Amino acid sequence: MTTVADLIDRLETEAAADVDSETTPDVGIIMGSDSDLPTMEGAYDALDALGFAEQTDFATPPEARFTFESYVVSAHRTPELMYAYGETAADRGLDVIVAGAGGKSADLPNMTASIAYPIPVIGVPVQEKSVDSVIGMPTGAPIVAVDAGKSFNAGLSAAQVLAREHDEIEDRLLAYHEDLTGGVAGVSADLHDLGIDGFREKHGE
Ligand code: AIR
């Protein structure tokens, strides 16, 4: 069985390996519990829509140039792992972290933001009651955060961070936005031109 010590060893070994940053995961997605996964899936969906591939083995990256990885890291059950993840993030080649946690003590995003600083952390409060805990940082200890459950936006924000360095991601973000606005224009025209009944018939509502 894999232990927390095994995972910490793994992270530290990877950090020491000094591999080409083009082969390391660009985005790290972490969550306090696997029960957060249904909420955090939006971040995967956003990155997937932008052409990111999942990297499941640090040593053998997928062909796609831009990648993400994910782990369950609990601030309260496995604080040592949280510390190791944040501390090794830069040396493991991560450029940005998406961190989600739920409950009233949703401290993984805010603690990781402090440990991994200056790597930006985008916090996802898994529930409404987690918002204050995620965003309530003291002056000088920043975190970026999305609204409760909005992990899709966290994935987009992570890509925005990377787009400052990679034109290819900027182009994909612009194409995504064009699709999005086109979708709104399409339903707007349908609603007007078909009328409410016609719209319901066409869109199945
Ligand atoms: N959590 C896990 N470790 C520390 C915290 N705050 C959060 C998880 C999850 C919630 O506690 O992020 O949203 C409940 O976790 P579980 O594992 O009991 O379902």
State the closest ligand 1 atom to the C-alpha of 126, by its place in the atom list counted from 1: 13
Q: What is the C-alpha separation between 114 and 22, in angstroms, rounded? A: 25
Please report the pLDDT score of residue 195 as a whole number: 98
> Residues 104-134, buried b or exposed e (16+ Cβ, 10 A)?
eebbbbbbbbebbbebbbbbbbbeeebbebb
What is the distance in A from the centroid of ligand 1 to the CA of 40?
13
The tokens of 140 are what? 């000088």
Please report the pLDDT score of residue 114 as a whole number: 98
* HEC per residue, 96-116: EEEEEECCCCCCHHHHHHHHH
Q: Determine the topology of domain 4-165 in CATH.
A: Rossmann fold (3.40.50)
Point out which residues pair with 71 in neighbouring strands. 30
Protein residue with least CA distance to atom 2, ligand 1: 32
Phi/psi class of residue 33: alpha, beta or left (left: φ > 0; alpha: ψ in -120 to 50)? beta
What is the distance in A from the centroid of ligand 1 to the CA of 1?
21
What is the distance in A from the centroid of ligand 1 to the CA of 156?
24
Cβ-in-10-Å burial (0-12, 13-18, 19+) of 135 comes to: middle
Protein residue with least CA distance to atom 3, ligand 1: 74
- Residues having CB within 6 Å of any atom of ligand 1: 32-33, 35-36, 74-77, 101-103, 105-106, 126
Please report the pLDDT score of residue 118 as a whole number: 98
pTM for the model stands at 0.96
Please report the pLDDT score of residue 24 as a whole number: 98
Best residue among 40, 74, 78 to mutate for probing ligand 1, ranked by most atoms within 8 Å of CB:
74
Using an 8 Å Cβ cutoff, are 121 and 149 in contact?
no
Q: Where are the domains of the chain?
A: 4-165, 167-205
Would strands 144-145 and 96-101 be described as parallel, antiparallel, or unpaired? unpaired
Write out the chain's pLDDT in tens, 205 residues.
999 999 999 999 999 998 999 999 999 999 999 999 999 999 999 999 999 999 999 999 999 999 999 999 999 999 999 999 999 999 999 999 999 999 999 999 999 999 999 999 999 999 999 999 999 999 999 999 999 999 999 999 999 999 999 999 999 999 999 999 999 999 999 999 999 999 999 998 6
Using an 8 Å Cβ cutoff, are 102 and 76 in contact?
no
State the closest ligand 1 atom to the C-alpha of 78, by its place in the atom list counted from 1: 3
Amino acid at 63: E
